[in-house]
Amino acid sequence: MNLRYCEKNRVRGTTESKMTSLPISDVQAALAGLIGQANVYADPADKARYETGARYGDGKAALVVRPGSAAEVAAVVRYCVDTGTPLIAQGANTGLVAASTPDASGTQVVLSLERLRGEIAIDRANRTATVGAGVTLQELNDKLAEHGLCFPIDLGANPSLGGMIATNTGGSRLIRYGDVRHNLLGIEVVLADPPGQVLDLMSGLRKNNTGYDLKQFFVGVSGAGGIITRAVVQVHPLPRQTATALIVPTSQEAVLELLIALESEFGDFLTAYEGMSSSTVQSVIDHVPGVANPFAPEPIPDYCLLVELAATSSREVLGVDLQSALNDFLERQFDVLVANAVLDGGPDLWKIRHSISESIRHQGKLIAFDIAVPRSSMVDFQTTARRMLEADFPWLRLFDFGHWADGGTHFNIVWPHDATPAYDTDTVEKLRLAIYDLVVRQFGGSFSAEHGVGPYNERFYHRYASPEAQVLSGKIQQAIDPRHALGQVHFGPSPKP
């Protein structure tokens, strides 16, 4: 097999393309010389787990390489750029837009970050952690917990820190702690241009306004232009108290009113405000062992909200029990904004919320939408979208859940296995455009709230980003990486011929 740039990774713009065609064995030998034979996988069995994404992406890698340091990443990048060998960075491969997996061509080299670990260095006084890009969120949090700290990005997966930065993950507790971008103080990144240049931006500073904040250009762009090898993140004190409730609002309008009231009265503590429709809760109860209707003997309500408060202060220091304070608040809102509530459910309530994705798989074929609209448009969007589904796609079922506090919604639609008509991709594409058009064009929202942009959804980027934004994005991408050597997405105006 020979390696060559596939069309997708051809140089765009004004820089001259450098086309190479090296025997795979030469590439393998050269990379083994740079990072060691043991860290270059050519065997199909070894490569397999790097080739398929968590939701989309199912290709073939020419090789998988596992460099163990920024210097080794730099050597690999330099070699691959110089020889025109396409390279794809991969963290824990938990992403949902196929940004970290190879295409079907079998010509791409996957660069796994998993050996970029080193010691997790915790600076207690600075309240920061210095972390290798291959360290996972769980590993970081296990280590931080020993110091009473946490990195509070709450996700269903266990990604690597490098992947989290490349995706700018958000999660359920964004309203309290922000996304990865908000907690990122520094990165080390190996640039595509000059090839293999290590850019050290490993500041542990919270205040530093000295020109372009260069790390921003590598956050949330799915590996475009550089491979992140290390990071400094701000970490937070572990909460000492939490309070939870599963709340039935008195009306659809009460959902936002209750959020405003909670932020106004408990704004320091509100960490999650997650809405779930009845079909979603029912799906969990039906398919996940050990989960019962929390409202029994009442039926499952049309809509309910999982509220979580968290306080750094203990009950002893503050003199108040957070759950009692929340209960009192809900009591006062009874029959006003709150129709019913299950109090203090803690892990049991979160289990419902966290089991949604698992339960949906039993319902049929999932068509997932990771969208966001301004909070003030959440009700209108949901009403409009439901009506559109009922009118135009009546055989589909909706299992949505929403991060109301940050405007994000996982608008999960299922095509039941036994539905008529049978599943077909043309209809799915029509559905995608119908939902995204509504989100972006009617409600000023986002077609990718927290999953980022990868080969899977690049076409929607070109549909929805404004022409002016695409032009500027293309100029910037071209400036950072003129050969388009790193990152699978082209952010300039549509590359379609």
472 binds a copy of itself (CB under 8 A): yes
Q: How far is the CB of 422 from a copy of itself (least distance, A)?
A: 32
SS (H, E, C) the chain: CEECCCHHHCCCCCCCCCCCCEEHHHHHHHHHHHHCHHHEECCHHHHHHHCECCCCCECCEEEEECCCCHHHHHHHHHHHHHHCCCEEEECCCCCCCCCCCCCCCCCEEEEECCCCCCCCEEECCCCEEEEECCCEHHHHHHHHHCCCEECCCCCCCCCEHHHHHHHCCCCCCHHHHCCCHHHEEEEEEEECCCCCCEEEECCCCCCCCCCCCHHHHHCCCCCCCEEEEEEEEECEECCCEEEEEEEEECCHHHHHHHHHHHHHHHCCCEEEEEEEEHHHHHHHHHHCCCCCCCCCCCCCCCEEEEEEEEECCCHHHHCCCHHHHHHHHHHHCECCCEEEEEECCCHHHHHHHHCHHHHHCCCEEEECCEEECCHHHHHHHHHHHHHHHHHHCCCCEECCEEECCCCEEECCEEEECCCCCCCCHHHHHHHHHHHHHHHHHHCCCECCCCCCCCCCCHHHHHHHCCHHHHHHHHHHHHHHCCCCCECCCCCCCCCCC
441 binds a copy of itself (CB under 8 A): no
Q: How far is the CB of 208 from a copy of itself (least distance, A)?
A: 4
Q: How far is the CB of 149 from a copy of itself (least distance, A)?
A: 9
* Single residue of 447, 456, 484, 485 touching a copy of itself by CB under 8 A: 447
* Single residue of 221, 396, 431, 486 touching a copy of itself by CB under 8 A: 221
* Single residue of 21, 208, 251, 278 touching a copy of itself by CB under 8 A: 208
> How many residues contact a copy of itself, by CB under 8 A?
98
* Single residue of 227, 369, 461, 483 touching a copy of itself by CB under 8 A: 461
What CA–CA distance (Å, rounded) separates 415 from 52? 23
422 binds a copy of itself (CB under 8 A): no
Q: How far is the CB of 206 from a copy of itself (least distance, A)?
A: 4
Q: How far is the CB of 372 from a copy of itself (least distance, A)?
A: 4
Q: Binding to a copy of itself (CB under 8 A): which residues in 32-71?
A: none
Span interacting with a copy of itself, options 65-73, 279-287, 383-391, 445-453, rule CB under 8 A = 445-453
* Single residue of 158, 216, 278, 383 touching a copy of itself by CB under 8 A: 216
Site string for a copy of itself, 321-350 (x = CB under 8 A): ---xx--xx---------------------
From the CB of residue 362, how many other CB atoms can be counted at a distance below 10 Å? 12
Q: Binding to a copy of itself (CB under 8 A): which residues in 128-187?
A: 128, 148, 167-168, 170, 174-175, 178-179, 181-182
φ, ψ for residue 200 (rounded to 5)? -95, 105
* Single residue of 407, 412, 431, 456 touching a copy of itself by CB under 8 A: 407
205 binds a copy of itself (CB under 8 A): yes
Q: How far is the CB of 246 from a copy of itself (least distance, A)?
A: 21
Encoding tokens for residue 160?
């690597």
Q: How far is the CB of 264 from a copy of itself (least distance, A)?
A: 5
Q: Binding to a copy of itself (CB under 8 A): which residues in 111-130?
A: 123-128
Q: How far is the CB of 370 from a copy of itself (least distance, A)?
A: 9
317 binds a copy of itself (CB under 8 A): yes
Q: Considering beta carbons, is residue 200 or 358 the nearer one to a copy of itself?
A: 200
Q: Tokens 């596939």, residue? A: 6
Q: Binding to a copy of itself (CB under 8 A): which residues in 256-285?
A: 256, 259-260, 263-269
20 binds a copy of itself (CB under 8 A): no
Q: How far is the CB of 194 from a copy of itself (least distance, A)?
A: 8
Span interacting with a copy of itself, options 85-93, 339-347, 356-364, 460-468, rule CB under 8 A = 460-468
* Single residue of 52, 252, 313, 442 touching a copy of itself by CB under 8 A: 313
